[in-house]
Amino acid sequence: MDKIRPERRSANMGRIRSKNTIPEIALRRLIHRLGYRFRLHRRDLPGKPDIVFPARRRIILMHGCFWHQHPECSEGRLPGSRTEYWGEKLKRNQVRDEVNRALLQDKGWRILVVWECQLKDTVAVTRMVRKFLDY
């Protein structure tokens, strides 16, 4: 396997977004087609949640399987190289997620996490979102 030069890796990593990702946009389109309206990335809430339904006190978080280490997905595994670096970085993401979820729940928000791999089954995601928002 060819090694990627550090400047090339840096350029690749620089193109990875934290907001308005392809999976996040797909989820937002699905929710919008269902007739729900929402707010995005509210800065006044811990962690700036992805999708916020203020009147319902509901939040949907779109988690990438790699970045948030989805335990039930093959994408949620550590890379083979620089495992110490990636292990620490991805663990910090998980800890931050837990802290933000706890803070939001303490403020009375209900939270649904949708994993990137779940978007492959739009029928199941649709059912999950409807149940969460209409409960």
CA distance 101 to 96: 9
Residue with tokens 């699905």: 30
Pair 30, 126: CB distance under 8 Å: yes
Residue 1's pLDDT is what?
Answer: 45
Residue 97 buriedness (CB in 10 A; 0-12 / 13-18 / 19+):
middle
Is residue 4 predicted with pLDDT exceeding 80?
A: no
Residue 62 buriedness (CB in 10 A; 0-12 / 13-18 / 19+):
buried
DSSP label of 15: T
Give tens-digit pLDDT for 53-72: 999 999 999 999 988 999 88
CA distance 123 to 66: 23
Q: Domains of the chain, with CATH numbers? A: 18-134 (3.40.960.10)
Give tens-digit pLDDT for 7-32: 665 566 555 666 779 999 999 999 99
CA distance 131 to 127: 6
What angle is formed at CA 31 by the lines to CA 72 and CA 64, rounded to 5 degrees? Answer: 30
Indicate the pTM of the whole model. 0.85
As a whole-number percent, the residues of the chain with pLDDT over 70 amount to 87
